[in-house]
Amino acid sequence: MNESHKRSGPRRRAFLKAAAATALTRSTPWAQSSPAASAFPKIHAPFLITPAQAWDWNVFKSRGGPTYAGSAGWKRYTDFLISKMQEFGATDFDSVEIPYDHYIVDDWPDRRTHEHNSGMAVEKLVSDGKPVPVVASYGMTSGFTPPEGITAPMLYYEPGAPPADEQVSGKILVFETAPYPDPPYSDAFLDNYTLTDYEWRSPGKWHPLFTPPPASVTSSYHCRWVWSQLNRCAAIGIRGGAAGIVIVYDLSPGAAFGLAQRSVYTANGKAGLGAQYINCPTLTLDRVNGAKVLADAKAGKRATLTLAARFQRDTGKAFLAYLPGRNYGTPQDEQVLLATHTDAMSLIEENGGLGMLGIASYFNRIPKASRPRTLVFYFDCRHFMPGGEGSWPQFDYYTIHPDRLKPVVATIGIEHMGGRQTIENGNQYTYSRDLPENGGVITSLMDVHNNNLWLIEAIARAATDNHWPRVDVKSGNTGPGINGGFQGTVKSPMNKGRAYGIPGVGLAGDWPGGWTQTYAQIDTEAGMHGFDEQYFVQQVAGLSQLAGEFMLVKPLVIDLGWGMLKSALVKLPAAHRQPLMDQYAALFRNVEHGALREARTGLDTLLAKIPAEEQGDFRKLVEAQRAKL
């Protein structure tokens, strides 16, 4: 393991904790004379949506099932969002139509479509003459079979002695997902399958850093490890010309059932308009229903695989709406961009649009004249198109209209809200009984672009003020976390600031837990009431406060250059780091409070204290910030 993963940084930790404490207690320098103005952006609770409203909205979405772009469920959901946004004062709607080849398996809403003996199964497997009772799911975009299925010998994929492509050809290739690797772990593994260091996180009980948490504490990490292997299996099967694929997940029946992941069955693994998909129908099984299949495959038995599916050209639509600020429609207008996606298979993945309704509802109750900046609401629909947003860049609204990005000063990404944490104990799949602050709800993973002190402290304030119980803030590869270790990243494509080069933050509630499963709606495979409406409202409150903070902060304060300078400082040798970090914090406070002459002096002093051998790169960073002052 890289030493940075486990290195303690007590002085850095003390500095950051002290900085956060200062931020949480200091008065707001922009406060006006009236009581209402001095309270903003802190949340005025009577303006918030209620837990009952949150529950009703999420029940409505759940009843429509999956919301893949262009589907009936998606149209129902987006019609609701548009209607409510209009009710909450949004105006000047605009949209982008996005055509794509929609892969459809008609298994919603009836779970019996996965059961062999139901008479209505669309996913079936018969192994050595015996039906598999329940098929968990399928490989998205993997293709289809004729109604009678395909029959072929099974071939077990042995990772230690993988078969040659000519052995795979024409076979039903059977995979068993691999266990976690032994340590030391790579950064890529740590980033995805362990808790890593952070810029700030809420009080509570947390699993130790840099080691995979057991599924009995949270199913998110192990589930993510298991299903992330699907694309590798698909690539092997496609390359070898397999007749079909079966993947046996090391998951309980509840955790595996309906689990649908974004996979791309093309020769190069890339999607996009006009992509040529390769027919290699794929089924997934849980560890219980898959045990006999693995044994049969190792013995070279025959199987019949059936998957009723189709591709259909559909058109999704991304749309934007504006909640005007006091200068809307004038050259002085500045904007805060909020973004989510509307397409998914389950409730929590994705109900960010309902969170945006909560924010719009809140600010609509504040007079336009008291809204310092305009809020822009961007409802994207490319997340579960094959390959995700990166495969459809030409349909990004601001790629099409780059001039409309100029007024945007900050961004907020919003996805995966209100979910309870699922766990596995053996083959039992249920909800955690921990308190929310100890992991009873899915963690609010918060992406920060970049590690600017103000951005981190704004999240800490929003979480603390609104009793937001489970928050973990990371700035990615900008530098070590508060404990001096590897931070990792938050996978938050909805934080559009990263792509656009704009300061921003993004909520991506941890996943998958129970939240990438077709039937994980208001109830899930783990049981009834998988949605926590109290947690949802706490998240809406915290995000609304962040939106308010972004309405007020001076662009100079959140300029990305301050984070770049901080990143360079925290990478210095320990002997020099702490005094320089103290100097940096002091000059940044001057920037926050508008004391620009003192900030310029502070930058000069900082540069003078940097060791001579390091000054070349630092001089460019310091001079860039000095010019902005």
Last residue of one domain, picked from the residues 528, 552, 576: 552
Q: 258 exposed, middle or buried (CB, 10 Å; 0-12, 13-18, 19+)? A: buried
Do β-strands 374-380 and 335-341 pair in parallel, antiparallel, or remain unpaired?
parallel
User: Does pLDDT of 175 surpass 80?
Assistant: yes
Distances (CA, A) of 284 to 138, 139, 175, 331, 518: 5, 7, 9, 55, 14
The model's pLDDT over 445-479, given as tens digits with 9 standing for 90+, comes to: 999 999 999 999 999 999 999 999 999 999 998 99
Residue 600 lies in a domain: yes
| Interval 97-126 mean pLDDT | 98
Residue with tokens 């698909």: 234
How sure is the predictor about 38, in pLDDT bands with cuts at 50, 70 and 90? very low
Q: Does residue 6 surpass a pLDDT of 70?
A: no
Mark which of 282, 308, 334 sits at the end of a domain: 308
Within 308-394, residue ranges assigned H as helices are: 352-364
Residue 189 lies in a domain: no
Angle at which helices 10-25 and 453-465 cross, to 10°: 60
Q: Which residue has the higher pLDDT, 399 or 33?
A: 399
Dihedral angle of Cα 511, 538, 198, 498, to the nearest 10 degrees: 70
- Residue pLDDT, tens place only, 91-105: 999 999 999 999 999
Residues 98 and 121 in one domain: no
CATH number, domain with residue 348 = 3.40.630.10
Question: Residue 235: inside a domain, yes or no?
Answer: yes
Examine the domain organization and report whether 86 and 172 are in the same domain: no
Domain count, the chain: 3
Q: Is 205 exposed, middle or buried (0-12, 13-18, 19+ CB in 10 A)?
A: exposed
pLDDT tier at 23 (50, 70, 90 boundaries)?
very low
In which band, very low, low, confident or very high, does the pLDDT at 27 lie, cut at 50, 70 and 90? very low
- The residue out of 308, 334, 361 marking a domain boundary is 308
Tell me the per-residue pLDDT of 222-266, one tens digit each, with 9 for 90 and over. Answer: 999 999 999 999 999 999 999 999 999 999 999 999 999 889 999
More confident residue, 129 or 17: 129
Quote the pLDDT of residue 512. Answer: 64
> Same structural domain for residues 127 and 249?
yes
Closest CA to 337 of 541, 478, 546: 546
Count of Cβ atoms closer than 10 Å to residue 130 Cβ:
14
Q: Does 486 fall in a domain? A: yes
Q: 3-state SS of 401-441? A: CHHHHCCEEEEEEEECCCEECEEEECCEEEECCCCHHHCCE
Region 158-172: what's the mean pLDDT? 97
In a domain, residue 91? The reply is yes
CATH number at residue 267: 3.50.30.30
Q: Is 90 exceeded by the pLDDT of residue 613?
A: no
Q: Do 448 and 487 lie in a common domain?
A: yes
Residue 457 lies in a domain: yes
> What are the angstrom distances between the C-alpha of 494 and each of 68, 377, 411?
17, 11, 9
Q: How far is CA 361 from the centre of its chain?
A: 23
What does the pLDDT average to over 356-379? 98
The residue behind tokens 């900046």 is: 373
Are 467 and 612 found together in one domain?
no
368 and 472 together in one domain = yes
pLDDT digits (tens, 9 = 90+) for 189-212: 999 999 999 999 999 999 999 999
Co-location of 424 and 534 in the same domain? yes
Is the same domain home to 267 and 385?
Answer: no
- Has residue 305 got a pLDDT over 70? yes
- Give residue 511's pLDDT: 74
Share of the chain above pLDDT 70, in %: 93
Quick one: 345 and 444 in the same domain? yes
Query: Is 5's pLDDT higher than 70?
Result: no
Residue 589's CB is within 10 A of a number of other CB atoms, namely: 18
Query: Is 69 part of a structural domain of the chain?
Result: yes
Residues 530 and 583 in one domain: no
Angstrom CA distances, 516 to 3, 87, 183, 383, stand at 34, 30, 28, 13
User: At which residue do the structure tokens 């099984």 appear?
Assistant: 285
Note whether 306 and 124 are within 8 A (CB).
yes
Nearest CA to 318 out of 540, 99, 502 is that of 99
The answer to the question of residue 1 being in a domain is no
**Residue 261: what pLDDT?**
86
Residues 303 and 406 in one domain: no
513: confidence class by pLDDT, cuts 50, 70, 90: low
Confidence bin at 1 (pLDDT 50/70/90): very low
Range of the domain at 157: 111-178+229-308
Residues 371 and 491 in one domain: yes
Beta bridge partners of 316: 98
Tell me what the pLDDT averaged over the chain comes to: 93
Inform me whether the pLDDT recorded for 383 exceeds 80. Answer: yes
Q: How confident is the model at residue 612 (pLDDT cuts 50, 70, 90)?
A: confident
Residue 465 vs residues 24, 261, 458, 460, 538: alpha-carbon distances, Å:
9, 36, 10, 8, 10
Residue 493 is predicted with a pLDDT of: 83
Lowest mean pLDDT among 165-174, 439-448, 575-584: 575-584
Using pLDDT thresholds of 50, 70 and 90, give the confidence band for residue 574: confident
Distance, CA of 44 to CA of 46 (rounded, Å): 6
Are 325 and 333 a contacting pair, CB within 8 Å? Answer: yes
CA distance linking residue 259 with residue 254, whole number of Å: 10
